[in-house]
Chains A and B, each alone.
Chain A
């Protein structure tokens, strides 16, 4: 038997096994998931927090869905879509026989009503993602979006939680004088179009989502998803308790495992310690303005200083100290999992000699004092900043740490009353436009309050928001990332994954780079 034939047999065997496994999904049962905190408000349009966003799509489905790798979109409630030749319209075709979790029909009119509500500029914080829509028309199972301009972000926007399709009749029948009051009432026991429906919620303690028997998507066995009968979220704020409960078999999944415990849990033969790729980037935001709020001179306004601090930061060492080796250096302001991330970006590799040369070229040859705002009680912030104190000391920068609780830190930041602060970001949409508009556009919260301003970036961004040609849009984003890197308004630190520990019985669960926890294809192996 020659090698070729042998490998063909091996491949066929492997394929057969994979297929066999694919059809071996077990149906039924309850999966118990330990969350660090409870959801707040289960309305797709009016919510404000990841605690809601990261589970919402299990309850409310969208026309399109993000792909698991975070790079694109796949079909959801819509079975297909086409874009007009001029790029100023989009026609979506709904799947036949769609139903909400109560068995009532999901029609094109529900889609129009949901999208009109989501794009209302007076409603919620997310409406700008659908701002290009001028009007919506429906006919049969077709939904036509007439646009003000071509919008390359629209498919991703339609795959985002706020564009979820809700039942118009049930929502409008909910008690309340206006949309906000109706949303409060409806979100107590929402009926949606996702794979699950909320069946019980004892706030602060647990939440149960049971299987939506009318969900459209089919599993590998040809029957409707989800495989599980229900998912139970247990709220366990303490990391140690969450892990103990998992190890004792009282939970099947525990989220937000501290990175310091990843290695230990990887060694536990009963568990699958999984690091899901994320869009999370951690950086230090710097105030780039020439003067601080108190009128004093700001050394961080000097680009040489900002670059020097970037080069003086030993990312590999920081990754070891703070993330216990579970991170990788940031190369761009956006994560490497974000579409149109430019893999050729150099980032700021550790180079003390270069850092010293840059400091020497600046107005601050003898160094300076600088204060960074940290979140009180955050062990990660303290570990990071004490390490940076040493690293930056080598170029004469004396770092002081001011610890504040999150709300105070945000208020100071919003008032531009800071020199530096620790910050982290995750994307909500599978497109680079969200993080780019926040980090690089002065018009949108003053470039994450750094004060960074670039007419060239503004122009490139505006073009990219109408550019349907992928190659040209990619080139625009390459330029934006390069300009931003050169100006170094932030200290580039690291990307970290989502650490989730699971019993070995858990299969098919996925946390996508945006953070959404997906249970539709999850099951418990026998």
Chain B
């Protein structure tokens, strides 16, 4: 069932529709909490609280974006509030890759098995600065549209694109160095 149908059923007190919405988004939101740096327990509480609120307020709920963007956005706000963090998004510096000494923290075995490039790619993504990593993971791992990411994080779609571009550029540079 489409989200929009689920929502209109939830507004008419349909618990089954509510349960479906929960089960549909739980794995994604739980993964998203992890991206945001919340530990498992916090993440689970935050998701449960959000859905509890959603049920309580179901009749007067106004969602101006999609439900997906709404849920992600609400999770982000709650995690940030919990962590007492500012919500400013910082851009990955253009020359991020060259700032870092490369190769020093590679275990000899990893260098030996560097053909395990897949693992290396995961590692490179992990090295990205927090916001760049978050946006890249939202696009790459969760397959969210640029527009959706922009809505969730309250930034412009162009900023989203630039982040993704720079994140990929960083991974490419790291991959290139792996070959040399």
Task: Please indicate whether A and B come from the same complex rather than being unrelated chains.
Answer: no
Chain A positions within 8 Å of B, measured between CB atoms, are none
